[in-house]
Amino acid sequence: MKKTTKQLIVLMLILGVGCILEGCGKESNHSVTITLIHAWGGTEEDHVAMREIYEEFQEENPDINLQMISMPTREDMMRKVEDMIMVGNIPDIVSFSGTGENSTYDFMIENNMALDIYPYMQQDQEFADSISEVNKEYWSTENGELYSVADALMLSGGYWYNEDILRAAGIEKVPKSWDEFQTMCNQISEWALNEKNEVKALQPTVEGCLYCMDHMLAGSENSRFEGHNLIFQDEIFNNAINRMKRMHNSAISENADYSYRDETHLFNEGKLAIYINGVWGAPMISKQIDAKYALLPTDEGESMSCISSGLGYVLGNSGNEEKEKAAVKFLKYILSKKVQTKILEKTEQIPANPDISLESYKENKSRLYQAATLVLEADEKIEVPNNIWSAEQKDYFTETILDVLTGNLSIQEFEENLENKQK
């Protein structure tokens, strides 16, 4: 009996050693290990889909060990990246998802922590062609370097509306001017009051207010951009704030935690007529809602939209040639036609690769197609707020806009503070 026990122990030890050796053997197949940190760590369908796409890179490239750090939100991701940088642990790939300019991104550039993609583009024309022109135009430096590459375009400058509510309220066509937009909101509010239902015309987040403000300032004939900065003019700024007061004072949530998820929920419940978001909001809208996209108004009534490439993937300048090549290989993978098509089909983000056509999705993704086509065909295109407002300006705007709209902060002080936080 004791002999049998000893034999079993010996056998288990042999098996254990074998497992360890097998594990070591598998690890040795990875010629290089790279780290990817991203903000697709949530439970939403598009988050799950993007993580699966990342994992498939590992399956297709067994020689590269892709270590993913998945964060649930962009804010969590930014804090994690900053923590890693502070201890000298620069990630090999950071997916900024449109946030971080003027702060972490600038810090990486200034301290030679980001890898210039341009030399790799020169060596590979197919790779160069897979990067969108708006990405190259906006993110290329004066010296010709390129440190940020996005896998999706940001199409916005409009809002989703519940066509059933607009029809019930007697709205026959979407407005082209801000005055018409205000009239539409008033008409929806009056209808809701008469019907004694809980429908509101609109209840945007503070980020939604920023999109409206950006559109109002950029849409003015006398208010243009200087480089990547807005030109602040008192009269135009005052008019925009007063217009927003008329639009939103009775609708804005006083809850500081009110987010796009809350706004989405209200819209999907049929309690909100207008949902201010980009084209990317399409997959978040319930199939039970008859939703369509419309562009935000302008002073003159011409059509204007936002087509941008936000801050995307930034590769770490580690000085390790193997790691850098592996990171570039990941970037080529994410921009390939096969993966770009998958990103479109699974997450409904608009592919950055210009070779991907939306025409084939006209029927089976009609909502996305309608919104994207409207944005792409607008008379004038501007940048999204993330590319125009500095990080400090955006933070200040979102933290204090409710105080301005409720009269607790003067428009003059608000404008001066914003201008002082210019890039």
H-state helical runs in 29-140:
45-60, 74-86, 104-110, 118-123, 125-129, 133-139
Give the model's pLDDT for residue 255: 66
Q: Are 193 and 242 in contact (CB under 8 A)?
A: no
Mean pLDDT (the chain) is 87
- Phi first, then psi, for residue 32 (nearest 5°) are -155, 150
Q: How far apart are CA 414 and CA 203, in angstroms?
A: 22
Give the pLDDT band of residue 13 (cuts 50, 70, 90): very low
Q: Determine the residue type at 87.
A: V
Q: How far apart are CA 375 and CA 381, in angstroms?
A: 8
Neighbours of 333 (CB within 10 A): 17
Question: Between residues 22 and 183, which one has the greater pLDDT?
Answer: 183
CA-nearest of 174, 312, 297, 286 to 244 is 297
DSSP characters over 348-415: -PEESSTT--SGGGTTTTHHHHHHHHHHHT-SEEE--HHHHS-HHHHHHHHHHHHHHHTTSS-HHHHH
Q: How far apart are CA 196 and CA 271, in angstroms?
A: 12
Give the model's pLDDT for residue 385: 79
Give the pLDDT band of residue 20 (cuts 50, 70, 90): very low
Question: Between residues 407 and 119, which one has the greater pLDDT?
Answer: 119
Q: Are 96 and 80 in contact (CB under 8 A)?
A: no
Percent helix, strand and coil across the chain, each rounded to 5? 50, 15, 35
Q: How far apart are CA 118 and CA 141, in angstroms?
A: 11
Q: How far apart are CA 46 and CA 50, in angstroms?
A: 6
Helix (H, G, I), strand (E, B) or coil at 66: strand
Averaged over 77-99, what is the pLDDT? 92
Q: How far apart are CA 188 and CA 193, in angstroms?
A: 9
Q: What percent of the chain has pLDDT over 90?
A: 64
Strand 272-276: give its sheet, edge to edge. Answer: 200-202, 272-276, 158-162, 291-295
Give the model's pLDDT for residue 262: 92
- Read off the pLDDT of residues 268-294 as tens digits, 9 standing for 90 and up: 999 999 999 999 899 899 999 999 999
Give the model's pLDDT for residue 256: 63
Give the pLDDT band of residue 253 (cuts 50, 70, 90): low
- Read off the pLDDT of residues 31-79 as tens digits, 9 standing for 90 and up: 899 999 999 999 988 999 999 999 999 999 999 999 999 999 988 999 9
CA-nearest of 356, 355, 206 to 276 is 206
Domains belonging to the chain, first-starting first, are 30-154+309-361 (3.40.190.10), 156-307+365-420 (3.40.190.10)
Provide the 8-state DSSP code for 101.
T
Give the pLDDT band of residue 27 (cuts 50, 70, 90): very low
Does the CA dihedral 64-69-75-79 come out positive or negative? negative
Give the model's pLDDT for residue 384: 79
Position of tokens 């998945």?
70
Identify the bridge partners of residue 351 per DSSP, sorted by sequence position.
152
Identify the bridge partners of residue 152 per DSSP, sorted by sequence position.
351
Q: How far apart are CA 260 and CA 368, in angstroms?
A: 18
**What are 43's two structure tokens?**
């439970």
Q: Determine the residue type at 48.
A: V
Instruction: For residue 407, give Cα distances in angstroms to 200, 241, 249, 299, 410.
Output: 22, 11, 10, 25, 7
Strand 32-38: give its sheet, edge to edge. Answer: 64-70, 32-38, 93-95, 313-315
> How many CA within 13 A on the CB side of residue 160?
30
- Read off the pLDDT of residues 172-220 as tens digits, 9 standing for 90 and up: 999 999 999 999 999 999 999 999 998 999 999 988 998 898 888 876 5
CA-nearest of 333, 352, 329 to 56 is 333
Averaged over 26-30, what is the pLDDT? 52
